[in-house]
Amino acid sequence: MNLTIKNACVSRQKWILALFYSLFIGLFFSPLQAQIDFSKSNLNFNGFGSAPITTSLTFGPDGRLYVLEYPGTIYALTVKRNASDNYEVIAKETITGVKSIPNHDDDGTTCSGPSGSCNSRESTGLAVSGTAKNPILYVTSSDYRVGSGSNGGFGDVNLDTNSGVITQLTWNGISWDVIDLVRGLPRSEENHATNGLEFTTINGIDYLIVAQGGHANGGAASVNFSYLCEYALSGAILSVNLSALEKMPVLNDNGRNYIYNLPTLDDPTRANVNGITDPNNPSYNGVDINDPWGGNDGLNQAIVVPGGPVQIFSPGYRNPYDLVVTESGAVYTTDNGANGGWGGIPVNEGSATVTNAYDANEPGSDSSSSADDGEFMNNTDHLQLITTNKDNYNFGSFYGGHPNPIRANPAGAGLYTAPANLGTVGAVFRTQKYDPNSSTPGSTADVNIALPANWPPVQTANSVEGDWRGPGISNPDGPDDDPITTWGTNTNGIDEYTASNFGGAMKGDLLAGSSRGILRRVELMADGTLKKFTPEFLGGIGGNALGVTCNGDSEIFPGTIWAGTLNGKIVVYEPMEGEALNFPLRINAGGPEVSLNGNLFGADNYFFNGQSYTNTSTKIPELYQTERFDSKLNLDYKIPVPSGNYQVVLHFAEIYWGAAGGVAGGIGKRVFDVNIEDVLVLDDYDIIADVGSETPVEKTFLVTVSDGELNLNFSALASTGGINSPKVSAIEILTDSNESPVAIASAEIINGTVPLNVTFTGDNSTDDIEVISYLWDFKDGSTSSSANPKHTFTSAGIYEVELTVQDSEELTNSTTLTITVVDNQNQATVSGINASPDNGTAPLLVSFTVLNQVDDVATTSYLWDFGDGSTSSSEMEPSHVFSEKGIYEVSLTVNDEQGLSHTQTTTVTVIDEKKEEETIVGILMKNPVKEVAQVRIIDNGTDMVKVFKIYLHDSSGRIVGIYNAKDIVSNGLYQIPIASLSTGQIYYLSFEMDKGKRLVFSMLVDN
């Protein structure tokens, strides 16, 4: 499978001409930028299991792809390129040196959580150095457990808040030497942890630069983060001096080698190793039993040791997931913005007297509870430039804007501790140091209210860290935050593109992965600031791209981009340069290169979404034994072609419904529309009704392309009469030799408020001879014949600005550019919702959160209907207990201050935890599941329970299939077709029985 993303393709002569414009190259803006082309394919694991649940990946000096999996396993993959867009794994090594790190509770004792959590590590950072003969891996990990959440969520689950570890694994020629370099780094009660890292050399000293997650939403203790305060080393970019660590002895802890335990505070509630707790005793050293483990809500947090190997490189980040040290020596980091409603700013924020005291109002948590100076959390992810020159940078000098009271005010910040799982029972704001005999002035002998005797954990105050600076908004207390760019939420993994492909046009660009399954592109000026931001540069990843790596000219597979996802995919983007399409162009949809009647159909290409399906049991030509379909009912191909007239031939054959090797079905099982260039050419098309199953059929259409891209859309949306997944077997594009000019329009800005001044560019338009005239129609009654005009829009509206160019042969071509002009009129709130968990046994406690809420004015109210007859909730993000089994449709209606509303729903499935488990047993025969899910139901009771219906749900709870049990069962084995489902996604099978019984199975699809 592959994806090519281009906006225009010109003739070979035009391609040479366009090369001179390579400095302006990009994607998704104007057709001129089409010279930067990447094809997409999924890495073929070739029988070596499936893709890991990836959090980071990179190629090593030995040419292997190292992939870090979320629970701590590392995979070293030997990858072979067979052909363009054909990469496969030919060898795989499993490395467990990180996953085996012991976990602890927050008091430092052995982990008491579920065995699966205690025997895994949340692992999010991977860097590689060394040589081809002896590669070296650096991996970050922490406690696998995750607590906290909306309205407290799971609360304090006793995970170790000192569990962060950086591990070095060195290949000695026979095996991996494993050493934990640093132990005792911070870890939040949620999943913010010791994250991405880079190996670099600064002024001759080897360092690791490490993204260390924060503990609080806006710097203050809050309900949703289980009241944990920021630690001395949390919420920062750290430096780890490897050259210094190499001079230290290797120690051993119960068979595990390590070098450096971060010194910690002397927790007054824990016994000391030498038994001495009086800080005035000459033999006092403050070392607790089980150090460095067990942060104990900050009472045992790590200390910043002046001159030590671990220092603050740059303070002030909420949750930096990844960072990049560029070839030029600049350092950039991604940071996740503060969530609205998850916690506010610290007490005395904006001053040097900021503290960790807890304010139950959590001021600044959102717009409805803004602080006295108007500040509030704006939930904006962003990219931060720390330095353009690492060798001249003063460590700790750049502040990212997220407060840390302990570093800002070490002597006066105090510490808020809340020992309960949920709530503030037993919580205390500690301000007095511990002294067992109270001989120290201002001390206390009460361990239940005392700070550690060796408080504070930071020796020098950095008062700037008392100021919260929201990305993209003004700061009433001092300088504004100055990010390189802000971008959509959940943008995490990042890397620099260093290859010289496309004439060097992308060299030095930053590429960042998003949870939306896209890569964002950041083009930079020579001074490191923003030149251009492309929010959707490459798409079709199909998951949360936490891991991103770009291969340089001297690396294996130069110029490629690799993305690994949290849902188990590794995607390869391969650069395509100087390729002119040859006509006729033939594509085998969903399949490899194949011939039919002497015509060669190339491997599937230029698709933008969908999945492939193969059925070799059918007795039809090989071309028709594969297809591309889309389980989400909307399939697109975007094929770059010169503007002009074409004959498009679409090939179809039904190989799933009613076909050998498929499933039973007939007329009405698959109905879809086909649109070419936004023109409906097939309406409610039913292949079986037309020619029957397993019978090839061709449909030919005359098409005019005017924008350099042939757009094919296959839609089975219910709103237009569609049923099941649309599909296509093959595509042919036939053309004549006439060549029109190619109109290429771009604009300096494409949206804004009235009056909007826009500078347009049209002289990048191309022709095989010469473009001689330009005509711009601004669609507001004005026109221009200038190649690059300037125009002012004085009224709000959406203007489809049209550029028409003409060549010396009087051939013309037009293109449009959308300009959006607004006058701040109100729009309804748009939001999504998430249920966690979305299924389980009764009574089931479910936490609901609001996702991606957007409104141009303030949101004023929330109304939740849980679908079980209970009282509705007006909280923004409530929790609710479902007492009875059933499938509940939960709805959220959001109103803004001008009365507009938006309603979104999700589904929660609750099963009964009664005696039926003892008499009714269900077995999912294989998981992950491919093509057909097989479930065997065994009734050990006397009532002979019968299955009536089987419901198929996606991970959002939406029903995607309903089956009558009698139609799919044979000898107690239920066979549910899933070939149309998306690979790598979780789905649920719910078996509905008489006597009120129900069984639910979770399955991972691996089609």
Contact 415, 428 (CB under 8 A): no
Provide, rounded to the nearest whole percent, the portion of the chain with pLDDT above 70.
90
Cβ within 8 Å of residue 219, ≥6 positions away: 230, 235, 345, 346, 349, 402, 403, 404, 405, 468
Cβ within 8 Å of residue 382, ≥6 positions away: 334, 335, 337, 471, 472, 481, 483, 484, 485, 486, 487
Q: Please identify which residue in the block is written with the tokens 């071309």.
A: 623
Q: What is the largest CA-CA distance in the chain?
A: 99
Residue 14 pLDDT level (bands cut at 50, 70, 90): very low
Say what the pLDDT of residue 448 is: 96
Check whether 773 has a pLDDT greater than 60.
yes
Say what the pLDDT of residue 379 is: 85
DSSP conformation letters of 500-539:
-TGGGTTTTEEEEEETTS-EEEEEE-TTSSEEEEEEEEE-
Segment 377-404 mean pLDDT: 95
Check whether 12 has a pLDDT greater than 50.
no
Say what the pLDDT of residue 11 is: 30
Average pLDDT, the chain: 87
Say what the pLDDT of residue 15 is: 27
Segment 119-140 mean pLDDT: 96
Residue 152 pLDDT level (bands cut at 50, 70, 90): confident
SS3 content of the chain, % helix, strand, coil (to 5): 5, 45, 50
Within 13 Å, how many C-alpha atoms sit on residue 997's CB side?
Answer: 22
Q: What is the pLDDT of residues 433-463, one digit of tens each?
A: 999 999 999 999 999 999 999 999 999 999 9
Highest average pLDDT, of 399-403, 745-749, 824-828, comes from 399-403
**Dist. CA 762–CA 165, nearest whole Å:** 55
Check whether 694 has a pLDDT greater than 90.
yes
Check whether 622 has a pLDDT greater than 70.
yes
Say what the pLDDT of residue 854 is: 45
Residue 937 pLDDT level (bands cut at 50, 70, 90): confident
Q: Which amino acid is at 700?
A: T
CA distances, 412 to each of 357, 538, 666, 710 (Å)? 10, 49, 76, 65
Say what the pLDDT of residue 367 is: 83
Segment 149-163 mean pLDDT: 91
Q: What is the pLDDT of residues 64-111, one digit of tens each?
A: 999 999 999 999 999 999 887 899 999 999 999 999 999 999 999 999
Residue 6 pLDDT level (bands cut at 50, 70, 90): very low
**Dist. CA 512–CA 319, nearest whole Å:** 15
Highest average pLDDT, of 434-443, 737-746, 767-776, comes from 434-443
Q: Measuring CA to CA, which residue among 556, 705, 738, 565 is closest to residue 637?
A: 705
Higher pLDDT, 823 or 133: 133
Check whether 245 has a pLDDT greater than 60.
yes
Check whether 168 has a pLDDT greater than 90.
yes
Residue 607 pLDDT level (bands cut at 50, 70, 90): confident
Residue 832 pLDDT level (bands cut at 50, 70, 90): low
Check whether 701 has a pLDDT greater than 50.
yes
DSSP reduced 3-state for 277 = coil
Segment 38-60 mean pLDDT: 93
Q: Which amino acid is at 12?
A: R
Residue 16 pLDDT level (bands cut at 50, 70, 90): very low
Global pTM exceeds 0.75? no
DSSP conformation letters of 19-33:
HTTGGG--SSS-GGG
DSSP reduced 3-state for 464 = helix
Check whether 959 has a pLDDT greater than 80.
no
Check whether 827 has a pLDDT greater than 50.
no
Residue 348 pLDDT level (bands cut at 50, 70, 90): very high
Cβ within 8 Å of residue 483, ≥6 positions away: 382, 383, 384, 385, 471, 472
Provide, rounded to the nearest whole percent, the portion of the chain with pLDDT above 90.
60
When mean pLDDT is compared across 3-7, 282-286, 636-640, 960-964, the lowest value belongs to: 3-7
Check whether 23 has a pLDDT greater than 60.
no
Say what the pLDDT of residue 917 is: 39
Check whether 738 has a pLDDT greater than 90.
no
Segment 372-392 mean pLDDT: 93
Q: Measuring CA to CA, which residue among 26, 893, 132 is closest to residue 505?
A: 26
Q: What is the pLDDT of residues 309-339, one digit of tens each?
A: 999 999 999 999 999 999 999 999 999 999 9
